[in-house]
Amino acid sequence: MQLSSASTSYNPHVALPGLSQLRDPFAKLTGEARSRFHLIGTEKTFTRGDRLFVEGQAHQFVYVLLSGRVKLSVTSREGKTMILRIAEPGNLLGLSAALNSSEHEVTAEAAEYCRVKAVRAHDLIELMEKYPEAAMEATKCLLEEHRHMFKDVCRLALPATVAGRLANLLLDWRAQRVKPGQAEPRLAMPVTQEEIASMTGTSRETVSRVLHQFQRDKLISIKGAFLTVLQPKLLEQLAI
């Protein structure tokens, strides 16, 4: 993990470095609130396997993910780890623990090289207390976090088959990248088959078998580390 120079300059009228206006969670801040948000916090980098925070750890920072992807997971008392989801650029990590003044409920681990804006929890709370629009944007981020949690539960609990759960996961990844009017995006697989098994409540061998069946049925195409969804409608039928 490396800490970038604190002297990085920000233009208060544009999105955070590396993020579009659509992905910047505080893009709607204006004036003094926007300028203040850009001044607090520092940019940090994490390499694959580095942990931003650990389940049960006291909160210190809230992280805006600028680039790269982060695995969010929980571990049982027996030591079994389940990956809940993969955070994407623009996601805010650690907000729930900061607002509740509680320990982190999940572990956040870099799935690849990542850049983040790290804001001390008390600095963000002070910003929210002073500027109502900042509190509103943080509330929206918290609601988005809970929406993701609801989708995670549905992915694991509703489909009756492994194929259904895997279809759900692939559709979620596709939805994060697909753009209207453009060709199907190639999805860089952010996790291993073993980790996909963790996200779908099954074994690595079963994931491998189902992915091969999806390819034979021409539902997906896999070339190296990239996957393309060929038949999203048919995957949606499996995911019900």
Is pTM beyond 0.95? Reply is no
Regarding whether 142 and 35 lie in a shared domain, the answer is yes
Please spell the DSSP secondary structure of 4-26, one letter per residue: --TT----TTSPSTT--TTT-TT
Question: What's the domain range around 198?
Answer: 159-239
What CATH number corresponds to the domain at position 133?
Answer: 2.60.120.10
pLDDT in tens, 155-191: 777 888 999 999 999 998 888 877 777 777 888 887 8
DSSP code string of 83-119: EEEEE-TT-EESHHHHHHT-B-SSEEEESS-EEEEEE
Residues 42 and 87 in one domain: yes
Q: 81-87 and 51-53: which strand pairing?
A: unpaired
Residues 62 and 148 in one domain: yes
What pLDDT, on the 0 to 100 scale, is given for residue 2?
A: 45
Same domain? 25 vs 128? yes
- Final residue of a structural domain among 156, 181, 201: 156
| Number of domains forming the structure of the chain | 2
